[in-house]
Amino acid sequence: MTPEQIKKHKEVIKWFCDNPDKGVWRKDTPTNDWYIDNTPAWYKDYIYVQKDEYAEFRKALADGETVQLDNQLEYDSSKLKTWIEVDEISDHIPVAHYRIKSDEFKFKVGDWVYCTLKQGTTTLRQFKKEMIEWVNIYRLTKWKPKENELCVFWDNNCDEYYIGRYEALCFKETFGDEFGNHYRYLQQKGDWDNIAPLEFVQTLRR
């Protein structure tokens, strides 16, 4: 490893030495996607960030997004948070104090978002118009399906919904005939028009 590599990646290298089983997030160029590297070579021109609970914000800073820190020491629901921009992440500050600054407003009605209070309590909700003001009290993060997560899939102009795991290949499953035979249909995840978290099922019962 060259001195240039150590100088550029020293914080991530130090963290990885303490957490060798976790791997790091790596990006080969600014336009590439992030992926997990379990055996980093610490190339000077690559981008690496720690794969810890702050990774979302570390990656956002590396991608040129604006990360903000709420500077109220204690949560008080009667006060609005005051957000300040930061250019580095401190693991001495609870993760719930950080947020990625909205581009004007990046959520639309119907999106699924995580709502996190300063104490760390998180709920998953479907975004509604009246929730626009919540950015002053909650940290809102758009839901994205995780590998192997149980999700609801459906196509436009169709009233049938399927539950399956979000992965390279997702399954449509149903009990097809009067004899209770179980049919499984293999379907590429890209073939679905819509995907939502499992909580979406509750909205279908209303």
Side chain identity at 25, as an amino acid letter?
W
Contact status, residue 132 vs residue 119, Cβ threshold 8 Å: no
pLDDT of residue 42: 95
Fill in the amino acid letter for 88. E
The yes-or-no verdict on residue 185 having pLDDT over 90 is no
Q: What is the pLDDT of residue 200?
A: 86
Span 41-61, average pLDDT: 94
205 or 16: which carries more pLDDT confidence?
16
Q: In this predicted model, which residue has the larger pLDDT, 164 or 53? A: 53
pLDDT top residue among 60 and 74: 60
**DSSP strands (E only) in the chain:** 24-27, 35-37, 47-50, 67-70, 83-86, 98-100, 112-116, 122-126, 139-142, 150-154, 162-165, 169-175, 182-188, 194-197
Residue 101 has pLDDT above 60, yes or no: yes
CA gap 71, 68 in Å, rounded? 9
- Out of 23-37, 94-108, 166-180, least confident range: 166-180
User: Which pLDDT does position 43 carry in this prediction?
Assistant: 93
- The predicted pLDDT at position 176 comes to 41
Percent of the chain having pLDDT more than 90?
A: 27
Between 97 and 62, the more confident residue is: 62
Task: Say yes or no to pLDDT of 168 above 50.
Answer: no
4/89 Cα distance (integer angstroms): 22
Kindly report the pTM of this predicted structure: 0.52
pLDDT at 78 > cutoff 70: no
Q: How confident is the model at residue 149 (pLDDT cuts 50, 70, 90)?
A: confident
Does residue 89 carry a pLDDT above 70? Answer: yes
Res. 47: pLDDT tops 50: yes
The lowest-confidence range among 55-59, 71-75, 105-109 is: 71-75
Residue 57 has pLDDT above 90, yes or no: yes
State the pLDDT at residue 19: 94
Does residue 130 surpass a pLDDT of 80?
no
Check: CB of residue 196 under 8 Å from CB of residue 152.
yes
